Structure 1
Amino acid sequence: MNALIKSATIVDSKSDFHNETVDILIEKGRITKISKRIPNPKNYREIKLDNLHVSQGWFDSSVSFGEPGYEEREIISNGLKTAANSGFTSVALNANSNPVIDSYADITFVKSKANDNAVNLYPIGALTQGSKGEDLAELFDMTNAGAVAFYDYQNPISNPNLMKIALQYASNFNGLVCSFPQESKISGNGVANEHINSTKLGLKGNPALAEELQVARDLFLLEYTEGKLHIPTISTAKSVELIKAAKAKKLNVSCSVAIHNLILTDDSLDGFDTRYKVLPPLRTQTDCNALIEGLKDGTIDMVTTDHNPIDIEDKKIEFDYAKYGTIGLESAFGALQTLFTTKKSIALLTQGKSRFGVSESTINEGEQADLSLFNPDINYEFNKSHITSRSKNSAFLGQTLKGKTYGIVANNKIVLK
């Protein structure tokens, strides 16, 4: 693939051309020249877009695509197309398919579905067999097949001894263990944040305590085992405090927050719209503020879309019975920019790579082209026309967002909307 990107502003603090507006020549998938003006005598494809900005390719540490087994929600090929259109060059795929991805063969299968794609797919293997929380899955075998982490997606590990053993075992090969932060006996059948709104609306509450007890337990286990832990999608102010203290003790822990938990609160539930039924639940503005501060001071390592397509039959029903989840790839950049500067938003979308073993390419001559293309300055109302996903269950429909994506240049390919 050969291309000439014209008049692009580079947003990459590791680039020699950070904040400069330049042309970028790409030959056979590699950046061969960056300069103020580059001629095109070989008539390469030119990419000229309004207010074009480019950055290192973005990474999402938690996406779900359904396939195999839930193809009505999403298939891998369209999920990767959605990621590309949304500016992501790499995604980590959760194991919550049917069957659950818990073996060498399963990892090999989902990787094969992403062959020859512009977007890199990094499979996350289930931590336990069938994600049932009873027996460890084939962690080492899945590592050899290409798994980058182990996670029973949104299924808490209730047995602390099992989590202890997982951390100890995975440490033998530097495996990353993920633990969903929820104590199920405390959360019970709660479907919304236990607070004023859940009481007012008559919805069963899932208290912040359920998350914080699990986080505290896992941090104690991490300290004991000296393992490697990632806590996905935290949602409470106290969780931020607990992880900050653990990092001060030099524990090998990272965490993420879902973008919708940064912006939306349980005030959104007044209309019982199931697009806002997510796990962990939307919390209070106090929690949102603490999560934002946690990102600013580095306590929280990365953001995720926690992209989870759910078909209409499982969303257009009573709130109590609807499935948890929202799609988030398409709205990620525009939503983040309502809170942060463009530079900070890009940092949040790229800085989780090293934790999940994803390679990084700076925007410099000689590097592989792994680029996200976007316009950071457009304000618009997010609607279904902006959605590439098969499922349309976005919590951001009707929200005013800032910044649109054009696509990506990655893996020797160009994908533009």
Structure 2
Amino acid sequence: MNLIFKNAVIIDKESTFHNKQADIIVADGIIKQIGQKLTAGDGFEVVELNGLHISQGWFDSSVSLGEPGYEDRETIANGLNVAAMSGFTDIALQPNANPIADSQSHISFLKAKGGGHAANLHPIGALTKGSEGKDIAEMYDMANAGAVAFGDYNKSQQDAGLMKIALQYVQDFDGLVIAYCQDEKIKGKGVVHEGAVSTRLGLKGIPALAEELMVARNLSVLEYTGGKMHIPTISTAGSVKLIKEAKAKGLNVTCSVAVHHLILTHEVLTGFDSRYKIAPPLRPESDRQALIAAVKDGTIDIITSDHNPIDIENKKLEFDLAKDGTIGLESAFGALMTVLPVDVIVEKLTAGKAIFRVETNKIAEGATVSFTLFSTEGESTFTKENILSKSKNSAFLGQPVKGKVYGIYNNGKLVLNNK
């Protein structure tokens, strides 16, 4: 496919055209020319969209789908299509299907199922067999099959000794350990943040201490062992402080925050709507502001949608019985535009590639094309009509959004979102 993208504002700090408007000629998946008022010969399709911006392809470090085992929640094919129309050229797929992706054969299956699409699928292998927290999984074999990291989705490793062994083991092949942080004993039967809102609603609370204590422990183990650790979806000011201090010490630690923790607080829980039942739970405004500040100052490396489709039978229940999770691919960019500058958003939606060792393609002549297409113009409200996923459990329904994602050009395929 040969294309010419007209009048696009390029957002790429690695490009000499950063924050400049230009035309981009693409032939055979390669950027042939970037410049002003370019023309292309016969056989070139013109892509000209209102307020078009182009950046390097976005990467989501935490996406759950369903296949295999939970295809009623989401299939790999449709999930990758949703990712593409939401602006993501690459997603890291969590291992929490059925069966759990804890072996070389499972990773090979996911790689095969994810092939041939515009968006790329990068499997995360389970850290422990069956994600049960008892025995280390076949990490080396999974790495050879294409796993980009190892973690048990939304399950904290309670055994510090096992975490120590995992961090030591992966160093032989430069592996990345994902360490979700929550002390299960302190969490207990909690379902929301412990505070004034949980007391008022009569719901059992999860104190910030449950997360922060485990962050501190895991960082201590990392300091002892060395290696690489990624702490996903932090949600408290205390976690930010601990990670900032660890980075200052020189520890090889990175972290992410979910879009919903940058936008929503526990005040939305007053209606007992299970769409807002999320792990870790939504926190107070003070934590939200601390997370936004940490995104801006670089303490937080990645923003993730933490996209997690849940079927209606497991979501539309009494609050304490419903499963945790919200979909988030479709709403990620528009929601972020309400709280962050576009340069910061693009930076945090692309930085994860280097951390997870996913190929990056800067916007320069001669480079392989991997584009996200979007506009920063316009304001609207996120509705069910904007949902592309099979599951509809979005915490962002009714939330204001800004801008529009047009889609991606990746793997020689142009995918545009008509919604």
How would you bin the TM-score normalised by the shorter chain?
over 0.9
Aligned amino acid, residue 10 of structure 2:
I
Instruction: Report the counterpart of residue 64 of structure 2 in structure 1.
Output: 64
Aligned pair 1:359/2:325, yes or no? no
SS at match of 1:405: strand
The within-5 A match list for 1:134-145 is: 134-145=134-145
Question: What is the TM-score with the length of structure 1 in the denominator?
Answer: 0.99
Distance 1:183 1:262 in 2: 23
Counterpart CA distance in 2 for 1:270 and 1:143 is 44
Q: What CA deviation, in whole Å up to 9, does each residue of 1:242-288 have, x standing for no partner?
A: 00110110001010000101110000000000110000000000100
Shift of 1:116: 1.2
* Alignment correspondent of 2:122: 122
Q: Does 1:277 align with 2:277?
A: yes
Alignment pair present for 1:173 and 2:173: yes
- SS of the aligned residue for 1:372 comes to strand
1:322 corresponds in structure 2 to: 322
Partner in structure 1 of residue 264 of structure 2: 264
Look up the match of 1:54. Answer: 54
What number of residue pairs does the alignment pair up? 417
* Aligned residue in 2 for 1:18: 18
Query: What residue number does 2:101 align with?
Result: 101
Alpha-carbon shift at residue 14 of structure 1 (Å): 1.0
Distance (whole Å) between structure 2 residues aligned to residue 19 and residue 257 of structure 1: 26
Q: 2:83: which partner in 1?
A: 83
2:113 corresponds to 1:113: yes
- Conserved? CA contact 2:2–2:43, under 8 Å: no
Shift of 1:308: 0.2
Q: Cα deviation per residue 1:9-51 (whole Å; 9 max; x = unaligned)? A: 1111111211221111110011101121222321311111111
How many Å apart are 1:353 and its aligned residue? Answer: 1.1
> 1:402 maps to what in 2?
402
Aligned partner of 1:380 in structure 2 is 380
Deviations 1:106-149 (A, max 9, x none): 00001111111111111000000000000000000000000000
Output the CA distance in 2 between the equivalents of 1:43 and 1:301: 41
Cα distance in structure 1, aligned partners of 2:151 and 2:235:
18
Q: 1:110 and 1:350 mapped to 2: Cα distance? A: 22
Structure 2: any 5+ residue segments left out of the alignment? Answer: none
Q: Take 1:18 and 1:163, find their aligned partners in 2: how far apart are those partners?
A: 41
1:237 match: 237
Question: What CA deviation, in whole Å up to 9, does each residue of 1:71-102 have, x standing for no partner?
Answer: 01000000000000000001000000000000
Letter in 1 for 2:136: L
Most deviating of 11-20 and 267-276: 11-20
> Which amino acid letter does the alignment assign opposite residue 143 of structure 1?
A
SS, match of residue 380 in structure 2: strand
CA distance in 1, matches of 2:19, 2:295: 23
**Aligned Cα root-mean-square deviation (Å):** 0.7
State the secondary structure of the residue aligned to 1:300. Answer: coil
Deviation of residue 337 (structure 1)? Answer: 0.9
Alignment-derived partner of residue 212 in structure 2: 212
Given that 2:191 and 2:203 are in contact with CA atoms closer than 8 Å, whether structure 1 keeps it comes out as yes
The gaps in structure 1 that reach 5 residues or longer are: none
- The runs of at least 4 aligned residues of structure 1 exceeding 4 Å deviation read none
Measured after TM superposition, the shift of residue 173 of structure 1 is: 1.0
Give the letter aligned to residue 134 of structure 2: E
Alpha-carbon separation, structure 2, partners of 1:228 and 1:364 = 31
1:350 correspondence with 2:383: no
- State the distance in 2 between where 1:135 and 1:19 align: 49
CA contact (8 A) 2:57 2:408 kept: yes
1:233 match: secondary structure: coil
Aligned-pair identity in percent equals: 57
Aligned to 1:188: 188
Length-normalised TM-score, structure 2: 0.99
2:252 matched residue in structure 1: 252
Q: CA deviation at 1:7?
A: 1.3
| SS across alignment from 1:118 | coil
In structure 2, the partner of 1:33 is: 33
- Residue 152 of structure 1 corresponds to 152
1:132 and 2:116 matched: no
Question: In the alignment, is the contact (CA less than 8 A) between 2:64 and 2:308 conserved in 1?
Answer: yes
